[in-house]
Structure 1
Amino acid sequence: MKVTTVGIDLAKNLFQLHGVNEFGKPVIKKQIRRDQMAEFFVNLPACLIGMEACGSAHHWARKLQSFGHTVKLMAPQFVKPYVKTNKNDAADAEAICEAVNRPNMRFVPIKNVEQQSVLALHRVRQGFVKARTAQANQIRGLLSEFGLIIPQGIGYIENRVPELIENASNELPGSFRILVQRLLDHLKELDRQVDDLESQIVKWHRQSEASSKLAQVPGIGPITASALVASLGDAKNFEGGRQVAAWLGLVPKQHSSGGKQNLLSISKRGDTYLRTLLIHGARSVIYRAQQKPDACSWINGVVNRRNKNVAAVALANKNARIVWALLVHDREFRSDYMAAKAAL
């Protein structure tokens, strides 16, 4: 009997399959190895395949699509409610097969190779930035044990630590001076790695028409624009700008009951990296807006009514909606767009 839907529980080496026919009756319940995946699905008639959006999911989605199958990825938290029994590979595959057929299920856009490579640059750069911050804090902490206090900021470490190492009047032992110099060299190497990766991201950003278009929005630079383009993929997969903002966790959580609306702080769901970039970009816009009160009346009005943190999230939410509109409608950003629309 023809298989219409297959759920795959991905793993490193052993993949669990659960397939059903058009009547929902299970016809496939088996476990296959990684090297058997391509051979099995290339001989299987075209069907709907569901997988959780986890490690290697985008790779297998592209590969199975090339065999003529329809592949859909889902967030793991949306699949979990369909697990009927205790957690195991067979139950997970059955739950995936059940969830992928739900008409109101939300799916994750499948990323192409270029998008994944750009996001890899962002992830590695983010890791180097964290390591650089940790290294700077370690140097500052070790020197504080000898009564030498360095202000916060990597620039202070690069400027003052070499002077402290060369200063013979302090009580630093020779071995400790050599150790701090080694840590300082490591910090400079991390800084160089961050700069190299950032230059690669900017190079890709300049070659991308969509990314260059997003960089025109105040509060969005090359780093944020390239990350948004690579993460969103086809913006038409989202119903509207608000769904993009909700996908990034920039909308309030709800705890409502009995017809009474109770909105809490932002949900902080989705990609923490993208949300952080948008909020930090919004903070820079707020800082500049205070210097030009007349040019940025909307954000200054929000700052006057609420605090700067709330205003930053509000602007990040607004920018997320603008990003969706620019990508979907293929428009250029215009700061006077609303004014021109009202004049018509």
Structure 2
Amino acid sequence: MKITTIGIDLAKNVFQVHGVDAHGKTVLKKQLKRDHVANFFIQLEPCLIGMEACGGAHHWGRKLQAMGHTVRLMAPQFVKPYVKTNKNDVADAEAICEAVARPNMRFVAIKTVDQQSVLALHRACQGFVRARTTQANQIRGLLAEFGLVLPQGIHHVAKRVPQLMEDASDELTGTFRLLMERLLDQLKALDQHVHELEVQITAWHRANPMSRKLEKVPGIGPITASALVASIGDAKNFHNGRQVAAWLGLVPKQHSSGGKPVLLGISKRGDSYLRSLLIHGARAVVAHAQRKTRADGWLNTLLQRRNTNVAVVALANKNARVIWALLAHGREFRVDYEPNVS
């Protein structure tokens, strides 16, 4: 019997495979060791393969596509409703096989090696930034125990601590002074790691024409542009700009019933890192607009009638839609652009 659809439950070492024929009848239930997966699928006729978008999914997606198969990745939360029994590998593989064949299922684009590489830089840089903040706060807390207080701003830590230690009274022991030196060295090392990774991300951004195109949008710099281009991939996978905004969690969460629409705060779904980059960029644009005395179109009109934070999220939502238009239609950003509403 010819296998038309396969669901794979990915794992570290043992993969569970579930296959059905054109009539939906189960014709394959099999466990595969990692080393045997490639040999098994290269012998199969091309078919539709579904997987959850989890660790290793993009790697296997590229590999199976190269063998001629059609691969679809799905978010795990969309697969869960199809699990009929208790959770186990066999039930999960069957649910994936069922979900991938649904006509209204939403799929995740398979990322290229280049896209995954730059996103790895972003994740590592994000981790170093978090560690740097933690280290700076620890230094602040330890100094505060001795009555030494630093101004706000992480840049003050490396600059002001040596002088504070020098001006401090003799109550600071040699052990504590040595500890502060070690903590400052660690802080400087983390800062150096962040700087080096940002240089690598910027170099990737300069070499990518799509990323450079997004940089022209107010509130979007090299870090945000490169992260968005690598994460979105082919923008035509989204039908419109609102889907991109919803994918980033920048649209209102809805809780409606009985024909009465109820809109709440933003959903905050999707990648929190991308959403925070867009919101921080929008916050910088809003701060600049508030310092200007001359009215500046849509944003200033919004600021006059809504809270600043609401305007920031609205601008981030608008930028997400603009990004989709630039990537999907190959357009260049123009400040004076007016949509054709006729």
Q: Which residue of 2 aligns with 1:265?
A: 265
Q: Which residue of 2 aligns with 1:181?
A: 181
Q: Which residue of 1 aligns with 2:79?
A: 79
Structure 1 residue 153: deviation in Å? 1.4
AA matched with 1:270: G
- Mean Cα displacement is larger for which, 303-312 or 14-23? 303-312
Q: Which residue of 2 aligns with 1:311?
A: 311
Q: Which residue of 1 aligns with 2:15?
A: 15
Please say if 1:197 is aligned against 2:197: yes
SS of corresponding position for 1:264: strand
Q: Which residue of 2 aligns with 1:322?
A: 322
SS of corresponding position for 1:146: coil
Give per-residue Cα distances to partners, 1:293-320, cap 9 Å, x unaligned.
5362211111111111110000000000
Equivalent pair of 1:7/1:17 in contact (CA under 8 Å): yes
Q: Which residue of 1 aligns with 2:105?
A: 105
Give per-residue Cα distances to partners, 1:128-153, cap 9 Å, x unaligned.
00000000000000111111111221
Equivalent pair of 1:17/1:29 in contact (CA under 8 Å): yes
Structure 1 residue 170: deviation in Å? 4.6
Point out where structure 1 has 5 or more consecutive residues left out of the alignment.
none
Structure 1 residue 165: deviation in Å? 2.3
Give per-residue Cα distances to partners, 1:104-156, cap 9 Å, x unaligned.
00000100000000000000000000000000000000111111111221111
Structure 1 residue 168: deviation in Å? 5.2
SS of corresponding position for 1:337: coil
Q: Which residue of 2 aligns with 1:167?
A: 167
SS of corresponding position for 2:50: strand
Give per-residue Cα distances to partners, 1:156-201, cap 9 Å, x unaligned.
1112101122235252110100001100010001001100000111
SS of corresponding position for 1:18: strand
AA matched with 2:213: K
Cα root mean square deviation, aligned = 1.2
Identity %: 71
For 1:227-242, list aligned pairs within 5 A.
227-242=227-242
Structure 1 residue 99: deviation in Å? 0.1
Equivalent pair of 1:140/1:150 in contact (CA under 8 Å): yes
Equivalent pair of 1:293/1:300 in contact (CA under 8 Å): no
CA distance in 1, matches of 2:156, 2:249: 35
AA matched with 1:66: A
SS of corresponding position for 2:338: helix
AA matched with 2:117: S
Q: Which residue of 1 aligns with 2:292?
A: 292
After superposition, the Cα gap between the structure-2 partners of 1:258 and 1:162, relative to the gap in structure 1 and judged at 3 Å, is same
CA distance in 2, matches of 1:90, 1:52: 14
- Mean Cα displacement is larger for which, 151-160 or 219-228? 151-160
CA distance in 1, matches of 2:8, 2:170: 64
SS of corresponding position for 1:169: coil
Q: Which residue of 2 aligns with 1:132?
A: 132
SS of corresponding position for 2:270: coil
After superposition, the Cα gap between the structure-2 partners of 1:224 and 1:295, relative to the gap in structure 1 and judged at 3 Å, is farther
Aligned residues: 342
CA distance in 2, matches of 1:295, 1:186: 46
CA distance in 2, matches of 1:166, 1:292: 43
For 1:34-113, list aligned pairs within 5 A.
34-113=34-113
Point out where structure 2 has 5 or more consecutive residues left out of the alignment.
none
Give per-residue Cα distances to partners, 1:305-344, cap 9 Å, x unaligned.
11111100000000000000001110110010118x58x9
Equivalent pair of 1:7/1:93 in contact (CA under 8 Å): yes
Please say if 1:120 is aligned against 2:149: no
TM-score, normalized by length of structure 1? 0.97
AA matched with 1:88: N
CA distance in 1, matches of 2:63, 2:294: 54
AA matched with 1:330: G
